[in-house]
Structure 1
Amino acid sequence: MDSIGKTINHFLNGGFEERYRQLTESVLENQRIRSYLAKHPYITERQVERGINELYQYKTQWDNCDACPGLSKCPNIVQGYQPRLTVYRGDFQLEYHMCTHKKKAEEQRRQAALIQSFYIPKEIMNATFDDFYEDHPSRTMIAAKALEFILHVNPGENGRGLYIHGPFGVGKTFLTGAIANELADRNIQTMIVYSPDFFRELKNGIHDGSYQQKLEQVKRAPVLILDDIGAETMSNWVRDDILGALLQFRMMEKLPTLFTSNFDLDELEHHLTYTQRGGLEKMDQLKAKRIMERVRHMNEVVDMKGENRRK
C-alpha cells in the first residue's frame, strides 16, 4: 500500500497544492474518520494536519476491506489485518487487528494442529459429516452414534469409545476423520494412527531410541484412533507389550480409544490369538481374551456395510 508521500509524488508535475487539498478533503470526508473525530473532540486541527498520512492509510486500507478480494489477495499493509486509529502523545497511530477472514483462517490452522496423525491420507484429515451423508445417505444411524460420541466424549472422565468394523473401503477411516474434525471444534485433541505402520515404527524405534517417546505420545493422546487394527502382522510383542499396555493405560486414565477394523470383535480376538509363532497356546488365548475384554467393555460397536468406495 502506497503512503500518502508516494501519492503526492505523482502530483509534483503540476497542481500539487490543489491536488493535495482535494486528497486531504477526501480523507476528512471519509465517514469512518469523521465518526472517529466526532467521538474525540479534543483532537486539534494541527494534530489532524500532522497525522494526515496515518488517516490516509486508515481510509485506504478500510476501502480495501469494504471491497475485500479475499484473504489470499488482501492488499493491506499487513495481509489479513485491519487498521485501528489511536492517538499516542498527541499523534495519530495505527494499530492492526485480524479481520474476520484472517481469524477464520487462524482458527482452521489451530484446529488442524489439534489433529495429529501418523500415516493417514491427507483427504481423511479434511473429512466432514456432510460428505459422509452425501456419499452414504443410508448411514444415518452410524452417523448418529458417531455424533453421540462427539457430544459426550470427555477425556479423563469418560473413556468410552467406538469400535467401527466393516469390509474394506466402506468409509470407516473417513468417518473417524470426520469425528476428529468435529472434536477439534470442541478443542479436543485427537491422534489418528494407522496401526500396521505405527507398530512397525515402534519396532524400529527400539534401535534408534525413539520407542518410548513415541509410545508415550500415543498412550496419552486425549482421543486416540487406531485405524485398521488387525491388519498388522501379529506377534507376542505387539499384542502384549504394545497393544495390551496401551489399552490398559488408556482404560485406567479414562482416555477414549476408537478403532477401525475389517474384523468384527470375534475375528479380532482370533487374530490376536494366533501370533507369528503359529499354533494355538492357552496363554495366547488368555492374553487375547484379556485385551478383547477391554475393547468390548470400553467401546460401542459400529457395524458399517456398503460398497467399496475405492473401486
Structure 2
Amino acid sequence: MEKLSFAFTLSEEQKKKKEALVARLMKNDHVLAWLKRNGCDEDFVWKHSGKFADWTAVMDKCEGCHGLDFCRQPEKGTRVDMYLDGMLMNQISHCTYYKEQQKQYAHRCFYKQMDMLEDYLLVDVSCLSLQHEAVEYKTAVAKVIDLLMNEHPQKGLYLWGKPGAGKSWLAAGMCNYYAKQEKRVAFVNVPKLISDLKLLFHEPDAMEARLRSIRNAEVVVFDDIGGESVTAWSRDDILLPLMDARMEKRRLTIFTSNYSMEELKQRLCAAASKSSEPVAAERLLERIRALSCEIFIKGETRRK
C-alpha cells in the first residue's frame, strides 16, 4: 500500500511571506532567548513559524507591563508559553507579578469564612506607619500588637469607635497574622451572617455547617456586632450559642463595633418586639466581656 504524503508546497508568494515572518521572528528578543535556552536554530523557527508568531504576539503584550492592574492578557498574569519535549508544546505559565500576588495572598486558604475585601488580606499590622497618628490610636495599636506577640492570650479584643475609624482594618490585620501562622480563621460580618442564616431556614444542614465553621475556627473576628437588626432569634439562638462554644473551647475571639459594650447592651435589650429584655442582653454581653478586652479606637473616618 502506497504511503500517504502530507507535504505541501508553498507558492512563491507564500514563501516570501514566510521568509519575511521568519526574518522578523529571528530579530525578536523573546525568540532568540528561547532558541538559546533550547539549543535550536533558525530551521526550527522556519518549521514552526506559525506557533512562534502566535507566541510572540502573546509575549509582546507583557512588554513594559508595570503590574497586574495593567495586564493585557485575557486572564490576568497568565499566558500561553512554549516548551520543547520531543516536540513543540504549549503550556500555561504565570508572570512574576502573578506569582508575587499569589505569595502575598497565600494565607487566604486558612480563612474558613471571609466577609471582607480581598485587599484586606494585605493588611500587616506590624508594618503600620504611625508617625502622624494620634496618641490614642498609637496606644490602641500597641495593645493589638501586644496581643499578637502573646503566644497564649487569655482574651481577644473588642474594638469600638466611630464608623471608618479603622476597626475592621485592624481586625483584618490580626486575622492575617494568625492565618500566616496556618491557624484556621474566620472574619465574620455579623449583619451579613444573620441575613445569610435567615435564607437558610429551610436548609438546616447548610446552616449548621456555617455555624460549625465559626465555632471551630481557632481565631474569629465578629465584625460590626450591633450593626445587625437585633431580634430574640439572632441574639439568643445564633450569637449566644456561638459565644458559649468559643468560651468552652477557649478560642481567641475579636469583635469590632460602632458601640461601646454598654451601648451594645442597650441595643441587645430591644428585640424585634421592642420590649426590653435586659436579662437576655446581659447573658450575651457577659460572654463578650469574658472573651475580650474593650479598646476604644479614636479617630475620624478614614474612608476617603
Q: Aligned equivalents of 1:76 and 1:204: distance in 2?
A: 39
The Cα shift of 1:244 comes to 2.8
Call closer, same or farther: CA 1:148–1:94 in 2, change over 3 Å.
farther
Per-residue CA deviation, residues 240-275 of structure 1 (Å, 9 max, x unaligned), is 443332112123334322112344445556766787
Q: Is the 8 A contact 2:112 2:213 kept in 1?
A: no
Residue 171 of structure 2 corresponds to: 176
Q: Aligned equivalents of 1:117 and 1:77: distance in 2?
A: 27
Q: 1:288 aligns with which of 273, 282, 301?
A: 282
Call closer, same or farther: CA 1:31–1:44 in 2, change over 3 Å.
closer
Call closer, same or farther: CA 1:75–1:132 in 2, change over 3 Å.
closer
Per-residue CA deviation, residues 19-60 of structure 1 (Å, 9 max, x unaligned), is 53343234234444444444544x577544322333333444
Q: 1:92 aligns with which of 67, 85, 88?
A: 88
Residue 190 of structure 2 corresponds to: 194
Q: Aligned equivalents of 1:111 and 1:243: distance in 2?
A: 27
Matched, 1:247 2:240: no
SS for the counterpart of 1:244 is: helix
Q: Is the 8 A contact 2:147 2:153 kept in 1?
A: no
SS for the counterpart of 1:66 is: coil
Q: Aligned equivalents of 1:110 and 1:82: distance in 2?
A: 21
Q: Quick one: which amino acid aligns to residue 62 of structure 2?
A: C
Matched, 1:81 2:78: yes
Q: Is the 8 A contact 1:58 1:94 kept in 2?
A: no
Q: 1:50-129 counterparts in 2 under 5 A?
A: 50-68=47-65, 71=68, 74=71, 80-89=77-86, 91-103=87-99, 114=111, 116=113, 128=123
Q: 1:16-55 counterparts in 2 under 5 A?
A: 17=16, 20-41=18-39, 43=40, 47-55=44-52
The Cα shift of 1:99 comes to 1.3
| Worse overlay, 241-250 or 52-61 | 52-61
The Cα shift of 1:163 comes to 0.9
Q: Quick one: which amino acid aligns to residue 288 of structure 1?
A: E
The Cα shift of 1:202 comes to 4.5
Q: TM-score, normalised by structure 1?
A: 0.64
Q: 1:304 aligns with which of 288, 297, 304?
A: 297
Per-residue CA deviation, residues 60-109 of structure 1 (Å, 9 max, x unaligned), is 433432333765665558663345442233x3223230112344566678
Call closer, same or farther: CA 1:73–1:132 in 2, change over 3 Å.
closer
Q: Is the 8 A contact 2:269 2:276 kept in 1?
A: no
Q: TM-score, normalised by structure 2?
A: 0.65
Q: Quick one: which amino acid aligns to residue 244 of structure 2?
A: Q
Q: Which consecutive residues of structure 1, in runs of 5 or more, have no partner in the other structure? A: 1-7
| Worse overlay, 182-191 or 238-247 | 182-191
| Worse overlay, 27-36 or 268-277 | 268-277
Call closer, same or farther: CA 1:147–1:66 in 2, change over 3 Å.
farther
Call closer, same or farther: CA 1:202–1:159 in 2, change over 3 Å.
farther
Q: Which consecutive residues of structure 2, in runs of 5 or more, have no partner in the other structure? A: 1-9
Q: Aligned equivalents of 2:56 and 2:160: distance in 1?
A: 59
Q: Aligned equivalents of 2:74 and 2:230: distance in 1?
A: 58
Percent same amino acid among aligned pairs? Answer: 23
Q: Quick one: which amino acid aligns to residue 140 of structure 2?
A: I
| Worse overlay, 124-133 or 74-83 | 124-133
SS for the counterpart of 2:139 is: helix
The Cα shift of 1:224 comes to 2.5
Residue 144 of structure 1 corresponds to: 142
Q: Quick one: which amino acid aligns to residue 161 of structure 1?
A: G
Matched, 1:259 2:255: yes
Q: Aligned equivalents of 1:108 and 1:265: distance in 2?
A: 35
Residues matched between the structures, number: 287
Q: Is the 8 A contact 2:113 2:186 kept in 1?
A: yes
Q: Aligned equivalents of 1:257 and 1:29: distance in 2?
A: 61
